[in-house]
Amino acid sequence: MTEAPSPTPQKGPIKIGQLLIKHTSLTPEQLEEALEIQKKEGGMLGEVLIRKNFILPHELMKALCLQLGLVFIEDLKPNEIDPALIKNIPINYAKTREMIPLKIEDTPKGDVLSIAVSDPFSNTIVDDMHVLTGKPIKSVVSTSMRIQDAINRVYERSSGNLVEKIEGQFEDETYDLEGPIDILEATEDDAPVIKFVNSLIFRAVKEKASDIHIEPFEKEFVVRFRVDGVLYDIIRQPKKAHAAITSRIKVMGVLDIAEKRLPQDGRIKIKIAGKDVDMRLSTVPTHFGERVVLRILEQSGSPLDLEQLGFSEKNVKMIHKLIFRKYGIFLVTGPTGSGKSTTLSS
């Protein structure tokens, strides 16, 4: 009687289902059920398992990292991230790419910047960060929720030091705003509230935001930027600095800072690096204080071509054909901030 041959060792990466059974509460029976559904309906096994509530999204991500030999970090510890690391990284980029720098590691080959990403297969992020920092990049993986939370906390902390200095240091009579000023020419002698508002406007223009929203709540105020029609939280800070910031902006717009019970509208003209920026200012009283909205209009920016607005080639040709007719009317409609003026100027 011959002996049965010993089983051949498995080659290649361990299957994701086996990893999930080993490292999560997934049972073999649940895996079999999910595989049957995948066989009938198609799709990814992980998506089926999550849809059936057999596993959580972060458990799937952790198992994928184990399978591919990637480092997975569940707790990013945002309080330990140095705000200086995000100095040159626009918050809109960090949020849309779901990326946050963690630390600079000292290696035998020099400093390496460690970043957390939700998509470990994106080479674009690594290339972008290498260009921005000039350092080699090392990627680790975390969940989208953890990264977004870390982004909010670290960017909030980077602005917090300046906000803390604002309370009690606002004096409206010291500001001469007869003509446009260049906000990049601010000096160390300027009050913290001036520096904060200037940095807020500069950051909004740099990130190509169309609006700045400053909204007060019971215990805090929130600053949001509207970029490509989407509002992003930029800063959340204690309520105590809100009145000084609002008053500074109202002075820039030549509004009555004593009037806090009625809506007011104004305009602000400034320069950023020699470029004219015109802003429409609107204040509205609320239960917790005045809500401020700044609409940013770059006067010196050249109009975009129709091709740059996202129209298909077919629609661009149709629009050109229509606008050169000798009769008729061409209507551009949409809600506030949707790009009507940009479309017309193109």
Q: What is the pLDDT of residues 213-239, one digit of tens each?
A: 999 999 899 999 988 778 888 888 888
Beta bridge partners of 25: none
Q: Does residue 142 lie in a domain region?
A: yes
Q: Do 192 and 284 sit in the same domain of this protein?
A: yes
- Do residues 291 and 320 both lie within one domain? no
Residue 22 shares a structural domain with residue 93? no
| Secondary structure E strands in 83-134 | 99-107, 110-117
112 lies in the same domain as 133: yes
Q: Let me know if residue 243 belongs to a domain.
A: yes
Same domain, 88 and 144: yes
Instruction: Give the number of domains in the chain.
Output: 4
Where among 282, 298, 314 does a domain terminate?
298
Sheet with strand 110-117: strands edge to edge: 99-107, 110-117, 137-141
Give me the pLDDT at residue 289, please. Answer: 92
Give the domain range for residue 114: 78-149
Q: What is this structure's pTM?
A: 0.48
Between β-strands 137-141 and 110-117, what pairing exists: parallel, antiparallel or unpaired? parallel
Domain boundary among 25, 44, 68: 68
Residue 279 inside a domain? The answer is yes
Task: Return the residue matching tokens 């149709």.
Answer: 318
Domain-located, residue 2: no
* Phi then psi dihedrals of residue 212, to 5 deg: -120, 125
Does some domain include residue 104? yes
- Dihedral (C-alpha) 226, 231, 237, 240: value to the nearest 10 degrees? 70
β 110-117/99-107 pair status: antiparallel
Burial 292-323 (b: 16+ CB within 10 A, else e): bbbbbeeeeeeeeebeeeebeeeeeeebeeee
> pLDDT (tens digit, 9 = 90+) per residue, 55-100?
888 888 888 888 888 899 888 888 889 888 887 787 778 888 899 9
With respect to residue 115, please indicate whether it lies within any of the assigned structural domains.
yes
Q: How far out from the chain centre does Cα 145 lie?
A: 13
Structural contact between residues 246 and 283, judged by C-beta atoms closer than 8 angstroms: yes
Most confidently modeled range among 14-23, 49-58, 134-143, 152-161: 134-143
- Residue 168 lies inside a defined structural domain of this protein: no
C-alpha radius of gyration, the chain, whole number: 27
Which CATH number belongs to the domain containing residue 235 in this structure? Answer: 3.30.450.90
CA distance 142 to 73: 5
Residue 224 in tokens: 């949001």
Q: Is residue 160 part of a domain?
A: no
Sheet of strand 220-227: strand arrangement: 181-182, 264-272, 275-286, 289-298, 211-216, 220-227, 230-238
Task: Mark whether 195 and 259 lie in a shared domain.
Answer: yes
Please list, in sequence order, all residues whose beta carbon lies within 8 angstroms of the beta carbon of residue 195, skipping any fewer than 6 positions away.
162, 186
Separation between Cα atoms, residue 153 and residue 234, nearest integer Å: 10
Same domain, 266 and 317: no
d(CA 110, CA 88): 21
Q: What is the pLDDT of residues 138-168, one digit of tens each?
A: 999 998 888 988 888 888 777 655 555 554 4
Q: Is the domain of 263 the same as that of 200?
A: yes
Query: Domain check: are 311 and 282 in the same one?
Result: no
Residue 281: Cβ-neighbour burial (10 angstroms; 0-12, 13-18, 19+)? buried
Question: Are 20 and 99 contained in the same domain?
Answer: no
Residue 272 and residue 238 share a domain: yes
- Let me know whether 59 and 83 are in one domain: no
pLDDT per residue as tens digits for the range 248-306:
899 889 898 888 899 999 999 888 767 788 899 999 999 999 999 999 986 555 667 77
